[in-house]
Amino acid sequence: MNLLSTGNPKILKGIAQGYNTYILHLAPANLSGYEVCAKRTIGCTDACLNLAGRGGMFKKGEFTNAIQKARIRKTKMFFEDRINFMKLIVKDIELAIKQSAKKNLIPAFRLNGTSDLAFEKYEVVRNGQLFRNIFTAFPEVTFYDYTKILGRKIKEYTNYSLTFSAADGNDADVMSAMNQGYNVAVVFNIKKGSPMPDTYGLRPVFNGDDSDLRFLDPKGVVVGLYAKGKAKKDTTGFVKYPVMMLKVA
């Protein structure tokens, strides 16, 4: 497999529920020289999960590693050789479907593991046929993502589930996203394992750390996540206090 990966701890929780999630990790923000997170904020850029786990392990005196280099390589390929990039994604998804079937698991795909690209805009070819995007090319599988971009035209793609992400300074967008029917993911400044707040922004809070399978979440909820890594020290407002209310200008 060239572009997609599996294996982070949250994905392993999904396996217990019968799902095998494959994730595309690009180099977030503009680390590759290309911007892949149009609505990123100071807080989310600083706390980005790009550096979680092995992605953030560097040898002494080094500032990069094989994982970061691979993410940069893939991102450059996306921008500089889109046709072959999309061919590889199609090939990887087909392989993932076969692998999952052998393991009796349902495949699911998250293409924005560490990016926020509107994949509905990019055409692909599958079995010699041109499709408007990856979601129409693979109607038989589920895709999901988190996004900070409001107004993405995805309603017609019933196999694509989007959860809106709250961050520092996007409260107005969060309110709009809620009004448009999106679930909203909020990172809370509470210790892992502590109970989530009952409500946030007048919505019930659903614990989103039990798995990454966002497409199975109940509708009309805030998806609560525990602060991890650098997010635990956030001072920008990216990480929310459970009692804090939404501020709308």
Interface positions with ligand SF4 (CB under 6 A): 28-29, 37, 40, 44-45, 48, 114-116, 148
Three-state SS across 152-211? CCCCCCCCEEEEEECCCCCHHHHHHHHHCCCCEEEEECCCCCCCCCCEECCEEEEECCCC
128, 150, 183, 232, 246 from 26: Cα distances, Å = 26, 21, 24, 23, 31
For the bound state, the minimum distance from the C-beta of residue 163 to ligand SF4, rounded and expressed in Å, comes to 12
Please, which residue, 115 or 211, has the CB nearer to ligand SF4?
115
Please, which residue, 40 or 214, has the CB nearer to ligand SF4?
40
Longest dimension (CA), the chain: 53
Please name every residue paired with 163 in a beta bridge, in sequence order, or none if there are none.
146
Single out the residue of 236, 213, 216, 183 nearest to residue 20, CA to CA: 213
Please name every residue paired with 23 in a beta bridge, in sequence order, or none if there are none.
5, 110
Please, which residue, 116 or 173, has the CB nearer to ligand SF4?
116
Please, which residue, 168 or 217, has the CB nearer to ligand SF4?
168
Single out the residue of 166, 164, 171 nearest to residue 247, CA to CA: 171
For the bound state, the minimum distance from the C-beta of residue 77 to ligand SF4, rounded and expressed in Å, comes to 18
For the bound state, the minimum distance from the C-beta of residue 39 to ligand SF4, rounded and expressed in Å, comes to 7
For the bound state, the minimum distance from the C-beta of residue 146 to ligand SF4, rounded and expressed in Å, comes to 7
Please, which residue, 110 or 148, has the CB nearer to ligand SF4?
148
Please, which residue, 14 or 113, has the CB nearer to ligand SF4?
113
Structure tokens at 77: 């390929």
16, 27, 56 from 49: Cα distances, Å = 23, 11, 9
For the bound state, the minimum distance from the C-beta of residue 106 to ligand SF4, rounded and expressed in Å, comes to 25
For the bound state, the minimum distance from the C-beta of residue 99 to ligand SF4, rounded and expressed in Å, comes to 26
For the bound state, the minimum distance from the C-beta of residue 167 to ligand SF4, rounded and expressed in Å, comes to 7
Please, which residue, 92 or 145, has the CB nearer to ligand SF4?
145
CB 4 within 8 Å of CB 114: no
Burial of 146 (0-12, 13-18, 19+ CB in 10 A): buried
DSSP 136: H
